[in-house]
């Protein structure tokens, strides 16, 4: 009898379970990716926030930490993207997939396909899924509005069937998933697996410091909000003291928040005020964003780092899926995936038995 958890995802990526650990910036480091892969899922290393040198070093470390293949996440517009692409291709013996949001063109996707590396972009709309398939991607991850960080408005229960009906490639479901029931439901809908970020952030092997981890565990669904004031695009985050101040800011207060964000960027990056303002002005080039908002957007990565790297849960920003509101533990990746497998198999068996 065929294994109910053997899908196109497990066949293409060589993992035992149809579960992907997403590439959260500063969180999906070698230790978490290795723990995920060693426990039977498929992990992505977050190279989108790395320099080429850092990416090379982290890929080498990850190769030593797990015998399993893994994925790399990057953005084609990040500094050093061309060098990171070459690093990925040079490690094609261990890199089974790449993921990205906005990104590669058909030529670059063709290079990955020729190297046997599966392109799995993350999309939040039907038209984007269709575009990625037209460019040559052979699998897509669709993230519903429940997802963390930048997110759309369409929930997974609506968006997933829409994308499944629109494209002829395997689809991975993301946004709101955190257990075996979610995996069983996604498979029943027609997906080939699920992708989870917040659930893997909330594990023992996640490098996030203790204070923000405790904030994630403590958060209820009412403590999680979508804000457009950080960088002008909807983002779902924990409603902590910093985000509350940003949300409560009027025009004048937004300038104060922008200056605070600029100071954070200046201190962490070593930039001068002139460089900080020039970076922000570069984001207003098309007239899409006022300068104060652009300053916030330019400094947003530093504000996220303050929480998930430096451990300041009050003065940093914490992206999260709404699923964090019901997660109250920090299991090891091995225990988490064992629980997911057991629960998914039980739910599928119950459905087949008519229970």
Lowest mean pLDDT among 83-87, 104-108, 175-179, 201-205: 104-108
Q: How many residues does the chain have?
A: 355
Predicted confidence (pLDDT) at residue 109 exceeds the cutoff of 70 = yes
For a pLDDT cut of 70, what percent of the chain falls above it?
86
Residue 94 · residue 58 · CB < 8 Å = no
Predicted confidence (pLDDT) at residue 201 exceeds the cutoff of 90 = yes
Tell me the C-alpha distance between 237 and 246, whole Å: 12
Tell me the C-alpha distance between 93 and 130, whole Å: 29
Q: What is the pLDDT of residue 246?
A: 87
Q: What is the pLDDT of residue 243?
A: 92
Q: What is the pLDDT of residue 300?
A: 77
Burial class (CB in 10 A: 0-12, 13-18, 19+), 234: middle
Q: How confident is the model at residue 302 (pLDDT cuts 50, 70, 90)?
A: confident
For a pLDDT cut of 90, what percent of the chain falls above it?
72
Tell me the C-alpha distance between 351 and 345, whole Å: 10
Q: Taking CA 71 as the corner, what is the angle to CA 74 and CA 56, rounded to the nearest 5 degrees?
A: 65
DSSP characters for 174-241? Answer: ESS--SHHHHHHHHHHT-S-EEESHHHHTSTT----HHHHHHHHH--GGGEEEESTTTSS-EEEE--H
Structure tokens at 199: 């659930």
Residue 195 · residue 174 · CB < 8 Å = yes
Q: Which residues pair with 224 in a beta bridge?
A: 238
Q: What is the mean pLDDT of the chain?
A: 90
Tell me the C-alpha distance between 55 and 48, whole Å: 9
Q: Which residues contact 296 (CB under 8 A, 6 or more apart)?
A: 229, 230, 231, 232, 246, 254, 257, 258, 261
Q: Which residues contact 55 (CB under 8 A, 6 or more apart)?
A: 47, 72, 74, 80, 84, 87
Tell me the C-alpha distance between 51 and 85, whole Å: 12
Give the closest residue to 236 by CA, choosing from 104, 135, 147, 344. 147
| CA dihedral angle for residue 295, residue 298, residue 300, residue 302, rounded to 10 degrees | -110
Tell me the C-alpha distance between 111 and 88, whole Å: 11
- Report the phi/psi class of residue 149: left, alpha or beta, with left for phi > 0 and alpha for psi in -120 to 50: left
């Amino acid at each position: 009898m065929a294994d109910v958890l053997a899908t196109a995802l497990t066949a293409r990526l060589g993992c035992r379970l149809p579960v992907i650990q997403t590439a959260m910036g500063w969180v999906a480091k070698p230790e978490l990716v290795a723990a995920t892969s060693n426990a039977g899922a498929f992990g992505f290393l977050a190279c989108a926030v790395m320099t080429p040198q850092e990416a090379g070093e982290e890929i080498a470390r990850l190769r030593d930490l797990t015998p399993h293949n893994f994925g790399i996440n990057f953005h084609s517009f990040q500094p050093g993207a061309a060098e990171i692409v070459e690093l990925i291709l040079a490690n094609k013996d261990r890199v089974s997939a790449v993921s990205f949001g906005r990104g590669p063109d058909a030529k670059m996707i063709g290079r990955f396909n020729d190297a046997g590396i599966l392109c799995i972009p993350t999309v939040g709309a039907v038209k984007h899924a269709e575009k990625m398939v037209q460019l040559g991607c052979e699998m897509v991850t669709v993230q519903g509005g429940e997802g963390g960080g930048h997110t759309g408005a369409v929930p997974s229960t609506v968006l997933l069937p829409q994308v499944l009906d629109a494209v002829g490639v395997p689809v991975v479901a993301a946004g709101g998933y955190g257990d075996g029931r979610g995996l069983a439901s996604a498979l029943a809908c027609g997906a080939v697996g699920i992708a989870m970020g917040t659930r893997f952030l909330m594990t023992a092997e996640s490098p996030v410091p203790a204070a923000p981890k405790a904030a994630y565990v403590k958060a209820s669904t009412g403590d999680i909000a979508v804000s457009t004031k950080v960088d002008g695009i909807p983002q779902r985050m924990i409603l902590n003291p910093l985000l509350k101040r940003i949300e409560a800011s009027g025009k004048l207060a937004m300038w104060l928040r922008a200056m605070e964000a600029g100071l954070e960027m200046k201190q962490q990056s070593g930039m001068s005020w002139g460089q900080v303002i020039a970076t922000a002005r570069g984001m207003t080039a098309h007239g899409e964003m006022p300068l104060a908002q652009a300053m916030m957007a330019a400094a947003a990565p530093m504000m996220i780092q303050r929480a998930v790297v430096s451990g300041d849960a009050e003065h940093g920003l914490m992206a999260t899926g709404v699923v964090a509101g019901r997660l109250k533990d920090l299991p090891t990746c091995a225990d988490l995936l064992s629980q997911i497998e057991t629960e998914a198999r039980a739910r599928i068996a119950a459905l087949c038995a008519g229970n």
